[in-house]
Amino acid sequence: MSPPKDYSHQNGRVTCRDQTVVDTNSEIEDYDLLRLLNRTRPLNIERNISLVEIRSFFGEISNGHFHRNNINDSHHHHVSSPVRIRSGFNTPRSNGYYESHPIIADAWEKLRRSLVHFRGQPVGTLAAVDHSVDELNYDQVFVRDFVPSALAFLMNGEEGVVKNFLLKTLRLQSWEKIVDQFKLGEGVMPASFKVLHDPVRNSETIFADFGESAIGRVAPVDSGFWWIILLRAYTKSTGDSSLADMPECQNGIRLILSICLSEGFDTFPTLLCADGCCMIDRRMGIYGYPIEIQALFFMALRCAQLLLKKDDVGKEFVKLIDDRLQALSYHIRSYFWLDLKQLNDIYRYKTEEYSHTAVNKFNVMPDSLPNWVFDFMPTRGGYFIGNVSPARMDFRWFCLGNCVAIISSLATPQQASAIMDLIEARWEELVGEMPLKICYPAIEGHEWRIVTGCDPKNTRWSYHNGGSWPVLIWLLTAASIKTGRPQIARRAIELAEHRLSKDHWPEYYDGKAGRYVGKQARKFQTWSIAGYLVAKMMLEDPSHLGMISLEEDKQIKPIKRSASWTC
């Protein structure tokens, strides 16, 4: 990609005529900021997972590979010097080790090859390093794609690149973002950025995309949430709260959440979104209140609650967050939840009910229940459905939303195990030969035409429409460990290991069982590589889960509605 042309200078910032924003001299400030932060400081090491998690984990792997001395790190404690708890899958390793684990060696080598540098510092990883096809924007650092890379680096004790990434994207957030004369919210984080090298001037600049260049001009609603979640993972993993405590970071968190917490016409606590505003970044009928975003929203709110300082400004904000969390968890746990009993209730719903006594609150027509859902629903198990809005329930199963609901404790412990029950009961459908289906089932025929707008990339059982995405293995692994069922993750990883490296780490697989490398899948897709490494490292050392998992929030009141999932 050649550097964008037609710049007009404004206050040291450059706004391109095609509305692309390019950073120039502000990088110098960044560099100073980094130097300041790189000064040594005492670190707190907090690597905690709950005792329940450890107990349940032990219950299952008494003859497994969990190292006892890691348990000490699973309690809150502070030490005054940096202690690296290195995973057995870390680099560097002896040659002998790599000879016996060639896939892991290959993954680390490929992950490092995807690193992007800005003025000598690593700042992120490319989405894919596949020169055999048109790069489109896969040669950029995507915020969501970097998360598994960041976790792999953190688990390996390499926090530098994560810190640089968090600061760089924070800097990008502060730019004025204008698309076709329309100014975007201050808190919006970019979907991706690219480092541009100018060999003539021997300089480097950054190009950022806030959705204005993306295919379909989709808004990256998830970027800000991932940024907060990653900041908390960094803080938790390193014990270094000085980054999150910086006024710039505190402000960044508040700006992201301000766009979500502002008052409006909403009657629901869920966040209203346009289609394709997350990992599924094309039209897939997920507009409205998609679970993929609601679960991330919940998790980001909970991370912000932990990260925000309780000073005068912070306190007010935390109060807003507390209130929203309460309402959001009630809404999702009650209305998005589907199990056999709930399905049967909807099947028998009366319609056109008015007033507060309505049972069928959203006026869902039983006739809108798709046929497949009756067969899909196991006797034991349940899940959060894709979307809930007036007279519209999207019954599709979405992987990311359900796994994030588990790791963030949006799902109650009973709901969390019911989701894992469903995954086990519907293994053929959801895991098949390559973990893991991004959503289930695929839409086809007339529905595909209407919902996707005849999208040839999203044909049935391909890409976002029922395709299988290896990156999702890390989320499944985190959810499995959290619910005390690591054998589910182990089974899935074994399946993936048969093919991933041999197939050159594809972005996604196609087909009902995920048997075919995706039609337009990039090879050497970084998050397929990093997702695998994170899953392996977490399984070997479950204390890593602590950086990405949240305990149940005792402040959140339990729902009063009859708990159908306990049957």
Judged by the rule CB under 6 A, the positions of this chain that interact with ligand GLC are: 127, 138, 142, 144-145, 279, 281
Which tokens go with 469?
């995405």
CA distances from 95 to 99, 101, 246, 475, 540 (A): 6, 10, 41, 30, 20
Which tokens go with 566?
């306990």
State the minimum distance, in angstroms, from the CB of residue 145 to ligand GLC: 5
Compare residues 142 and 225 and give the one whose CB is closer to ligand GLC: 142
Compare residues 192 and 250 and give the one whose CB is closer to ligand GLC: 192
Which tokens go with 374?
């009756």
239: left (phi over 0), alpha (psi -120 to 50) or beta: left
State the minimum distance, in angstroms, from the CB of residue 138 to ligand GLC: 6
Single out the residue of 271, 272, 273, 269 nearest to residue 322, CA to CA.
Answer: 269
State the minimum distance, in angstroms, from the CB of residue 131 to ligand GLC: 16
The values of phi and psi at residue 469, to 5°, are -115, 110
Compare residues 144 and 302 and give the one whose CB is closer to ligand GLC: 144
State the minimum distance, in angstroms, from the CB of residue 434 to ligand GLC: 17
Which tokens go with 466?
């029922």
Residue spans of beta strands (DSSP E) within 237-342: 337-339
Compare residues 73 and 281 and give the one whose CB is closer to ligand GLC: 281
424, amino acid identity? E
State the minimum distance, in angstroms, from the CB of residue 288 to ligand GLC: 19
State the minimum distance, in angstroms, from the CB of residue 528 to ligand GLC: 9
Single out the residue of 128, 148, 139 nearest to residue 192, CA to CA.
Answer: 139
- Cα distance between residue 221 and residue 219, in whole Å: 6
- Cα distance between residue 508 and residue 521, in whole Å: 6
3-class secondary-structure state, position 49: coil
State the minimum distance, in angstroms, from the CB of residue 517 to ligand GLC: 16
Compare residues 222 and 240 and give the one whose CB is closer to ligand GLC: 222
Compare residues 324 and 464 and give the one whose CB is closer to ligand GLC: 464
Compare residues 8 and 132 and give the one whose CB is closer to ligand GLC: 132
Which tokens go with 138?
């896969």
- Cα distance between residue 503 and residue 499, in whole Å: 6
Residue pair 533/501 in contact (Cβ under 8 Å)? The answer is no
CA distances from 272 to 81, 214, 291, 301, 387 (A): 45, 20, 11, 16, 11
Compare residues 135 and 553 and give the one whose CB is closer to ligand GLC: 135
State the minimum distance, in angstroms, from the CB of residue 493 to ligand GLC: 21
Compare residues 417 and 525 and give the one whose CB is closer to ligand GLC: 525
Which tokens go with 490?
């182990």
Compare residues 89 and 138 and give the one whose CB is closer to ligand GLC: 138
Neighbours of 214 (CB within 10 A): 18
State the minimum distance, in angstroms, from the CB of residue 233 to ligand GLC: 18
Residue 359 burial (C-beta neighbours within 10 Å; 0-12, 13-18, 19+): exposed
Compare residues 229 and 420 and give the one whose CB is closer to ligand GLC: 229
State the minimum distance, in angstroms, from the CB of residue 282 to ligand GLC: 7
State the minimum distance, in angstroms, from the CB of residue 399 to ligand GLC: 13
Q: CB nearest ligand GLC: which residue?
A: 127
Angle (nearest 5°) at CA 201 between 196 and 202: 65
Instruction: For 159-182, give the secondary structure using H, E and C.
Output: CHHHHHHHHHHHHHHCCCCEECCE
